[in-house]
Amino acid sequence: MTSTFGAHLTAAAAETPSRTALVFEDRTWTYAGLERAVRRTVARLDKHGVRPGDRVVMQGAARPEALITLFAVTRMGAVLVPLHPQVTGGELAVVCEETRPVAVVADGGFPAGTGHRLSWADLHPAGDEGAFGDEDPAPPSFGPPAGSDVAVIAFTSGTSGRPKGVALTHDNLHWSMVNGLARLPFGEDDTALVSTPLAHVAVLGGLPQYTWARRGTVVLAPRFDPDLFVDLVREHRVTCAFAVPAMSALLARHPRFTGGDLDTLRWILSGGSPAQSATRELFRARGIGVVNSYGLTETAAGVTYSAPEAPAGSTGSPCPHVELTVVDPEGTPAPAGTPGEIWVRGPSVAAVYWTAAGPVPVTDGAGWFRSGDRGLFDAEGRLSVVGRLKDTIITGGENVDPAEVENALADLPGIVEVAVSGAPDPVYGEVVTAFLVVGATHPGGSPSLEDVRGHLDGRLARHKWPRRVRLVPALPRGATGKLQRTRLATLLDD
């Protein structure tokens, strides 16, 4: 298996051309058909002036055209920049400023950005099977990308309130797939269900890629809905699926969960944060294993995967091509059972963040990515994630930076101060919570949750909106005036 991203798809098309690779609603692609669609999309990108090294922003909607575009852009040596489907104009402007794309591929409802605007129909016209006759178009004149070339720039929340673009190379994505295949029980008879936006790193370098590498079938859902999820499992005899903890919690509490419609489902891969213990036990009782994982955008998806029978909270031991350590504040490895910061090193870890001013290192001089997450090893060498040194909120598997939300709420009428933090939630893991100090002369009474969310409409993607608002007389601050974010949780009980 070569390190060029998408090589596993080309190999599968040559070895098992007639096997079903992808299902979406009433459409089906064999491996040969999916490979043909990628080649034709490469030709259309070439026709529209996309060249190796160019950045192409793409709306990361859950649709087959997005998967085909992912393979086509990276195959020709260009760089895909996938974004959450709900991204706002302001957020897109930051991405375009940093990456300077030559094109934006999206539907008509997506905000305008810089670069040539391409619709899905421009790259994937109706009747595509006959668009080039019986022959594929002539391939572009440029050769395949190198393993060290950047394939994807995946944006993640940063500590400054400005999203950061993680530059994932073909090698990074290749080794992420090697790690996943070493830990997860995939076979050619597996059918995997994906029902998350395709901008998620667990899709870019995760479950569907592992499935295709083993010549299995991927069923793509247009959205997550518990009823639709159960329907697709039953209809396509799905054996495994990816779900962030919020999705798993909703499924476990759904009336159809205990019926026979999920009988083919063997296990669920939980990403974003570990599945809650109660949810995990409900799945176990149902005969469905839950595989917790630990990974970040900077590590190109998972670097640990638990066994389904592992203790609750465990995310498993490090994958074969990963070095992972837990260190104390001095950088010394912490003993088993003692929490510390999680550091990761290995070929799946990105080297730099992409910025308009030039690359910014992701790792230190020794190659360690200092995650900012707190974890500990048990006596068996299995990692548990126990918190975060950084303030990023993980809600429903999506990262939210408090500073970004605070900046967007700073001009809410009548607000003197605002702080944002995560509050524990049994479904979402955490919910975004806004703490507001209201001025004495605030017009129309104190702002409600609806006021806050209305203020953010068009400014931030919906998953970043607060689900709770707490009015407080003052924010907790230290002697120097610095916000003491860890004390915000105590205000919830006042």
What is the Cα–Cα distance from 34 to 28, expressed in whole angstroms?
Answer: 9
Q: Which residue has the tokens 């999206």?
A: 106
Question: Contact at 8 Å (CB) between 374 and 387?
Answer: yes
Question: For the chain, where do the domains classified as CATH 3.30.300.30 start and end?
Answer: 393-493
Beta bridge partners, 269, equal: 242, 291
SS3 29: strand
What is the Cα–Cα distance from 468 to 423, expressed in whole angstroms?
Answer: 9
Q: Which residue has the tokens 């190659």?
A: 367
In this prediction, residue 411 carries a pLDDT of 80
Angle at 271 between CA 268 and CA 276, to 5 degrees: 75
Domain 7-383: homologous superfamily in CATH: ANL, N-terminal domain (3.40.50.12780)
Beta bridge partners, 315, equal: none
Angle between helices 226-236 and 245-252 (to 10 degrees): 80
Question: Contact at 8 Å (CB) between 306 and 289?
Answer: no
Question: Contact at 8 Å (CB) between 373 and 303?
Answer: no
Specify the long-range contacts of residues 373-377, CB closer than 8 Å, at least 24 apart.
373/296, 373/341, 373/342, 374/339, 374/340, 374/341, 374/342, 375/294, 375/326, 375/339, 375/340, 375/341, 375/342, 376/326, 376/334, 376/336, 376/337, 376/338, 376/339, 376/340, 377/326, 377/334, 377/336, 377/337
What is the Cα–Cα distance from 354 to 99, expressed in whole angstroms?
Answer: 7
In this prediction, residue 454 carries a pLDDT of 94
What is the Cα–Cα distance from 142 to 140, expressed in whole angstroms?
Answer: 6
What is the Cα–Cα distance from 184 to 170, expressed in whole angstroms?
Answer: 21
Amino acid occupying residue 141: S
Rounded CA Rg of the chain:
23
Question: Would you call 181 exposed, middle or buried from its count of C-beta atoms within 10 A (0-12, 13-18, 19+)?
Answer: middle
Q: Decide which of 3.30.450.20, 2.160.10.10, 3.30.300.30, 3.20.20.100 is the CATH code for 393-493.
A: 3.30.300.30
SS3 51: coil
Taking only the tens of pLDDT, the chain with its 494 residues reads 568 999 999 999 999 999 999 999 999 999 999 999 999 999 999 999 999 999 999 999 999 999 999 999 999 999 999 998 888 898 899 999 999 999 999 998 898 888 899 999 999 987 655 443 445 777 778 889 999 999 999 998 654 567 899 999 999 999 999 999 999 988 889 999 999 888 888 887 889 999 999 999 999 999 999 999 999 999 999 999 998 877 888 898 899 999 999 999 999 998 766 666 778 888 999 999 999 999 999 999 899 999 887 877 789 999 999 999 999 989 999 999 998 999 999 999 999 999 999 999 999 999 999 998 888 999 999 999 876 677 778 898 888 878 788 878 878 888 878 889 999 898 898 999 999 988 765 555 688 999 999 999 999 999 999 999 999 988 887 644 567 787 888 888 65
Question: For the chain, where do the domains classified as CATH 3.40.50.12780 start and end?
Answer: 7-383
In this prediction, residue 132 carries a pLDDT of 39
**DSSP track, 143-209:** -PPPTTSEEEEEEE--TTSS-EEEEEEHHHHHHHHHHHHHHS---TT-EEEE-S-TTSHHHHTTHHH
In this prediction, residue 315 carries a pLDDT of 92
Beta bridge partners, 83, equal: 59
Tokens coding 411:
């001009």
In this prediction, residue 158 carries a pLDDT of 53
Amino acid occupying residue 108: G
Angle at 486 between CA 324 and CA 480, to 5 degrees: 115
**DSSP track, 64-115:** HHHHHHHHHHHHTT-EEEEE-TT--HHHHHHHHHHH--SEEE--TTSPP-SS
In this prediction, residue 203 carries a pLDDT of 80
Pairing of strands 267-270, 240-243: parallel
> How many angstroms from the chain centroid is the CA of residue 457?
22
Distance of CA 294 to CAs 45, 118, 302, Å? 35, 35, 5
SS3 35: helix
Tokens coding 252:
């476990």
